[in-house]
Structure 1
Amino acid sequence: MKNWPNAVTIKEVGPRDGLQNEKTVVSTEDKIAWINQLSRTGLKHIEITSFVNPKWIPPLADSLEVAQGIERVEGVTYSALVPNLRGLEGALKADLDEVAVFMSATEAHNKKNINKSIDETFPVLKETVDQALQAGKIVRGYLSTVFGCPYEGKTDVKQAVYVAQKLFDMGIHELSVGDTIGVANPAQVYEVLEELLKFVPAEKIAMHFHNTRGTALANVLASLDMGITTFDGALGGLGGCPYAPGASGNLATDDLLYMLHGMGISTGVDQGLMIESAKFIENRIGRPLPSHTLQTVRATCE
C-alpha cells in the first residue's frame, strides 16, 4: 500500500479504440453526443477518433465531422490517432489538442497493422511527430503488443524497449504501453516496467490493458506498485484490435474507477455520470457491454 499514489489519471479511449472494432456503426450524431457526455464526467483526456484511411477502419470514417462537432470543455484534452502526415492534416484541421502516433513492438503485428516493417515505420512517424510539434500539438505514442503478439507469441522485452526508446527520441511526451491481446500478467508488467523505467520517468508512461483473460485490473495494481499513475480505459469494456484476432475489449473504465475509488485513490471522475454514459453507448451499440460494473447495474435493475 505504501507504493500506491493518492491520485491517478484516467484517459478515456472508448470513442476511438472502443468503437473502431464494433460491428455496429454508431452514427456521427450519437458519437458527438457521447463524447459531450464524457466531457462532463470529470475526465481530463478523451481520445475521440482516428484519422486513418476509412478503408481500414470504416466505423471511424466520420472522424473530421466528429472532431469538429463536439463541444469542447475547458480543461479536457481532446486527442486523435494519426498514422502519418495525411492523418495529421485532419487532426490539425479539427484543431485537436493532441495527436497520437502508433506502432507495434513486434514485426509481424506491425506489418499487419501498418503494412510496414518496424524500421520502415520509424521515418514515417518521425516526420509526423516533427510536423505535429511544429504545429504546437502534444504528441503521444502508442506501442502495441508489448507483452504478447498474436503472430509471434511472447514479446522480447528488449525489443519493446528498443522501439519505446526510438519513439521517445522522436519527441513524444508520453508512451501508452499496450497489452493488445490481453495476455499480460503482473509478473510481466513488473519485468517490462523495470526496463522502461531505467530510461524514462514513470510520469511519461501510461498503461493500456485489455481484459481478454481477466487480468487487466491485476495488471493495473502491479503498475501502481511500480509508480505508474496514468491508465487508458474504454467505458463498458468496449473495443479490441482489428488486427489482433481474439482481442476482446479494453480495460473497462467503469471497473477501473470502482477499484481505484474503493482503494481511496482519487481520479476526479464522477462514477455515476460515467455509468449513465456507459448505458448510453451500450444502447447505441445494441449489445450488452462486458464490464462488471454494467453487469451489476443490470442485475440491480432486474
Structure 2
Amino acid sequence: MTTTPASIDLREVGMRDGLQLEAPIPLETKLEILDAIAATGVRRVEVTSFVSPAAVPALADAEQVVAELQRWPDLHFSALVAGRGGARRAVAAGMPHLEYVISASDGHSLANARRTTDEAVDGVADIAALAHDAGGRLEAIIAVAWDCPFDGRTPLRRTVDIARRAVELGADQLCFGDTIGTTVPGRVTDLVAAVRDAVPEVPIGVHFHNTRGSGIACVLAAVQAGVVQIDASVGGLGGCPFAPGASGNIATEEVVYLLEESGIATGIDLSRVLDAAALVERAVGHELPSNLYRAGGPNQPRGRRDASAQNGATTRS
C-alpha cells in the first residue's frame, strides 16, 4: 500500500517553462526573479533551456543565465535540452544537470524536435554520458505522457515502455508531462503504478498543466500515490509552444497552498511565492492565470499585496 508522503520536493519551472512563451526580458530582470524565487525556500529550479534561440528567443541567453548561478549555491539547478547539441552547449556552459525531453507520441515529437519518438529515445545514451561525465544527472522528461494534440490519447503501455527504455539507456530519473492539460487523477495514478512496476528504483516526478482545471487535482492524486517530485510555475505562467492549446502550468502558490493545508510539507513560504509572482507579472506585462495569486493567500490577502504593488508589483482590479 502506498503511503502519502509527509513532504514533497517542488521544482520551480517558471524560469524556463514559464518564460519560454513570453517576449524576451533583460538578463538582470531574470536574475531579480530568480532571487525572489530563491527567497521562497524552493530547493530545485529549472532555470533555462539550451534550445534553438530562433525557436525560443526568450531563452536565448541560457549561457549568460548559467554564468550567474553561483550567486545561489544552495539551489539545485537544471536545464532542459532537446538534443545532443543543446546538451553539449549546457555542459560547456557549466550546467551538468540536464533534462531531456522525449515525446511519447510521434506527432508531438516531430512538431517539437523534428524526429520520431524512437529517434529521440536513441539520443538518451549520448546525453546521459555527457551529463555523467560532467558530474551531473540526466532526467528524462516524457512529454504528452497521457494525451497528444496531434495523435490523441497516448497508450499507457507506450509511455511506460519509453520510460523503461530511457532508464536502460542511462536516465537517472523520470518526469511525466501532461503537456496539454487533459489528464485526470485516475489516469495519473494508473501511470504512476505502471511505471513503478517497470522501473521500481527510479525517482518519478510529474509536470501538470491546468488547462482544463484538473491540474491541481492531479497533483494531489500523484502525491497520494507517493510521488514527491512536483513541477510548478510561479503565477501559473507558461505552456508548451509546440502543443496547440497547451496553456496554464499549475501555479506554485496553488500547489503550496493545497499541500500545506492538507498537512503535506513543502518547505516553501507562500507569501514569498506571491511576492515573486508580483515581480513576474510586472516583468511580463500581463495578468498571471493563478487563481490564488488573484485572491491572495490566507496570510497575505489581496489588500496587502495590492498595497505592496505601489513598490513595484502590478496593481490588480
Summarize the alignment of residues 1-80 of structure 1 with structure 2, pairs less than 5 Å apart: 3-22=3-22, 24-80=23-79
Q: Equivalents in 2 of 1:112, 1:6: separation in Å?
A: 39
Distance 2:289 2:268 in 1: 20
CA distance in 1, matches of 2:201, 2:261: 23
Q: Calculate the aligned-residue CA RMSD, in Å.
A: 1.6
TM-score, reference length from structure 2: 0.90
Q: 1:149 maps to what in 2?
A: 148
Which SS does the other structure have where 1:251 is aligned?
coil
Offset of residue 200 of structure 1: 2.5
The 5 A counterparts of 1:225-244 are: 225-244=224-243
Worse overlay, 109-118 or 131-140: 131-140
Matched AA of 1:34: I
- Give the conservation status (yes or no) of the 8 Å contact 2:96–2:134: no
How far apart, CA to CA, are the structure 1 residues paired with 2:11 and 2:105? Answer: 25
2:285 counterpart residue number: 286
SS of 2:198's equivalent in the other structure is coil
Report the Cα offset of residue 9 of structure 1.
0.4
* CA positional deviation for 1:28: 1.4
Q: 1:91 corresponds to which letter in structure 2?
A: A
Q: Over residues 107-151 of structure 1, what are the superposed CA-to-partner deviations in whole Å (9 max), with x where a residue is unaligned?
A: 110111110011212232321111211121111111100111001
Pairing 1:164-203 to 2, within 5 Å after superposition: 164-201=163-200
Change in Cα spacing, 1:299 to 1:75, as seen in structure 2 (3 Å) is: closer
Q: Deviations over 1:1-46 (max 9, x none)?
A: x932111100011100111112x32221111221122123211100
Contact 1:77 1:97 in 2 (8 A): no
Quick one: which amino acid aligns to residue 3 of structure 1? Answer: T
- Tell me, yes or no, if the aligned pair for 1:105 and 1:145 is still in contact at 8 Å: yes
Provide, for residues 135-190 of structure 1, a one-character-per-residue CA deviation record: whole Å limited to 9, x for no partner: 21111111100111001111100111111111111222221100000000111112
Residues in 2 aligned to 1:69 and 1:246: alpha-carbon distance in whole angstroms: 33
Q: Which residue of 1 aligns with 2:135?
A: 136
Q: Is the 8 A contact 1:18 1:249 kept in 2?
A: no
State whether residues 102 and 142 of structure 1, in contact with CA within 8 Å, keep that contact through their aligned partners in structure 2: yes
- Residue 259 (1) aligns with residue 263 (2): no
Q: Deviations along 1:187-219, whole A, 9 cap, x unmatched?
A: 111221121110233860001000000101111
Distance in 1 between residues matched to 2:105 and 2:230, nearest whole Å: 22
The more displaced of 132-141 and 100-109 is 132-141
Structure 1: gaps spanning 5 or more residues = none
* Paired residue type of 1:137: G
CA distance in 1, matches of 2:224, 2:231: 17
Q: 1:115 corresponds to which residue?
A: 114
Q: Is the 8 A contact 1:202 1:228 kept in 2?
A: no
Instruction: Give, in whole Å, the separation in 2 of the partners of 1:210 and 1:283.
Output: 22
Q: Secondary structure at the match of 1:198?
A: helix
Structure 2 unpaired stretches of 5+: 307-316
Deviation digits for residues 232-252 of structure 1 (CA, Å, limit 9, x no counterpart): 001100100011111112110
- Aligned equivalent of 2:314: none
- The aligned amino acid for 1:51 is F
Q: Which amino acid aligns with 1:56?
A: A
What is the deviation of 1:93? 2.8
SS at match of 1:176: strand
Q: 1:72 to 1:141 in 2, by over 3 A?
A: farther
Q: Is the 8 A contact 2:84 2:126 kept in 1?
A: yes
CA distance in 2, matches of 1:104, 1:84: 12
Query: What count of residue pairs does the alignment treat as equivalent?
Result: 300
SS in 2 for 1:214: coil
The alpha-carbon distance between structure 1 residues 198 and 159, as it changes in their structure 2 partners (threshold 3 A), is same
Distance 2:122 2:163 in 1: 14
Structure-1 residue corresponding to 2:309: none
Alignment-mate amino acid for residue 272 of structure 1: S
- Equivalent position of 1:221 in the other structure: 220
Alpha-carbon separation, structure 1, partners of 2:186 and 2:273: 31
Aligned partners of 1:257 and 1:155: how far apart in 2?
A: 29
Which residue of structure 1 aligns with residue 102 of structure 2?
103
| CA deviation map 1:246-285 (0-9, x unaligned) | 1112110110001111111111111111111111011111
- Given the superposition, is the C-alpha separation of residues 125 and 203 from structure 1 closer, same or farther in structure 2, using an over 3 Å criterion? closer
* Structure 2 CA distance for aligned equivalents of residues 214 and 170 of structure 1: 35
2:19–2:58: 8 Å Cα contact kept in structure 1? yes
